[in-house]
């Protein structure tokens, strides 16, 4: 970031703390992505965020701006100015860090839009990036839709970081297959997986 962009970013951030929404909006289409990030963050802080602001940020050419918009949508739980904004398209973003953030945001939404669970299942079982699989299975656990259980169970046999999230994602579910997965994870080679399984384990009576 050059010195001019850093100066503009400071102006936008200060405006966000001083109630100067006009200054913030004047920088929404700044050529520097860090300034655009600051603008969307400041509008959120000011309570002046609009649906179209989030929609524009989600289509920004720079991944960091798209991620920031997703973080704000998650913080809003998909309500208020985020109510009519869809994050589904970001689950197939070309940038894995955006997909990871989009998956996490899906788990934070108060209402789960149609098609979300199917997309998250596909990511949990098929994404190349382990961080994406981890984020997707965590979101499935947060949503708790029964159709996601097979994918979550499969994720308990993924790499360690994904297994940990998958075990925690089993919390809303019950049944013999859940018990069997937890029993197996009690002996996992990763201590954090074992700990997560111990926290959830309720021996069948």
Domain 113-205 has CATH 1.25.10.10: yes
Q: 84-128: per-residue pLDDT in tens?
A: 999 999 999 999 999 999 999 999 999 999 999 999 999 999 999
Q: 123-143: per-residue pLDDT in tens?
A: 999 999 999 999 999 999 999
CB 116, CB 92: distance < 8 Å? no
CB 106, CB 77: distance < 8 Å? no
Tokens encoding 148: 């996601």
Cα separations (Å) of 104 from 94, 129, 171? 16, 14, 17
- Kindly tell me if the per-residue pLDDT of 205 is higher than 80: no
Could you state, in order of their start, the residue ranges of all structural domains in the chain? 1-85, 113-205
Q: Is the dihedral of CA 75, 49, 83, 70 positive or negative?
A: negative
Tokens encoding 159: 């790499």
CA distance between the termini of the chain: 61
């Amino acid at each position: 970031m050059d010195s001019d962009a850093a100066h503009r970013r400071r102006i936008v951030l200060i405006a966000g703390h001083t109630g100067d929404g006009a200054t913030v909006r004047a920088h929404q289409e700044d050529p520097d992505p860090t300034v655009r990030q600051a603008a969307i963050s400041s509008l959120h802080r000011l309570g002046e965020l609009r649906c179209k602001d989030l929609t524009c940020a989600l289509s920004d050419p720079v991944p960091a701006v798209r991620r920031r918009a997703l973080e704000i949508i998650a913080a809003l739980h998909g309500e208020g100015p985020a109510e009519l904004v869809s994050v589904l398209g970001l689950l197939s973003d070309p940038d894995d860090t955006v997909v990871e953030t989009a998956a996490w945001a899906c788990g934070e939404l108060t209402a789960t839009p149609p098609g979300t669970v199917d997309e998250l299942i596909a990511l949990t079982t098929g994404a190349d990036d382990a961080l994406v699989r981890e984020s997707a299975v965590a979101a499935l656990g947060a949503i708790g839709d029964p159709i996601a259980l097979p994918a979550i169970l499969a994720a308990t046999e993924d790499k360690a970081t994904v297994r940990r999230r998958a075990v925690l994602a089993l919390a809303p579910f019950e049944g013999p297959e859940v018990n069997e997965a937890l029993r197996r994870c009690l002996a996992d080679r990763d201590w954090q997986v074992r700990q997560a399984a111990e926290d959830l384990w309720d021996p069948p009576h």
